[in-house]
Amino acid sequence: MKYQIECNTGKINQICLICQLSFQTNEVRLIICNDQGESYGDLCYQCIANGGDWVQFQLQKFSQKLLALN
């Protein structure tokens, strides 16, 4: 998985990839992508605030779920 940071000019409603809660983006978005650059979704600011190690652990669990679907 890759992280993509984008500047955001308008507020967009998103669903957090980790906690599944709806949130509104601010000036910056953190988007999680696969190795081909295809977006899985955004992370909310509350999940980002939990820290890099916590986010990495949650994304590993997400990745395992994706592998189980294939």
Report whether pLDDT(70) > 70. no
pLDDT tens-place string over residues 4-18: 999 988 888 999 999
- pTM of the model as a whole: 0.84
Residue 18's closest CA among 37, 41, 52, 2?
Answer: 41
pLDDT tens-place string over residues 53-68: 999 999 999 888 878 8
Mean pLDDT along residues 24-38 = 90
List the end-to-end C-alpha distance of the chain, in Å, as a whole number. 16
Contact 26, 63 (CB under 8 A): no
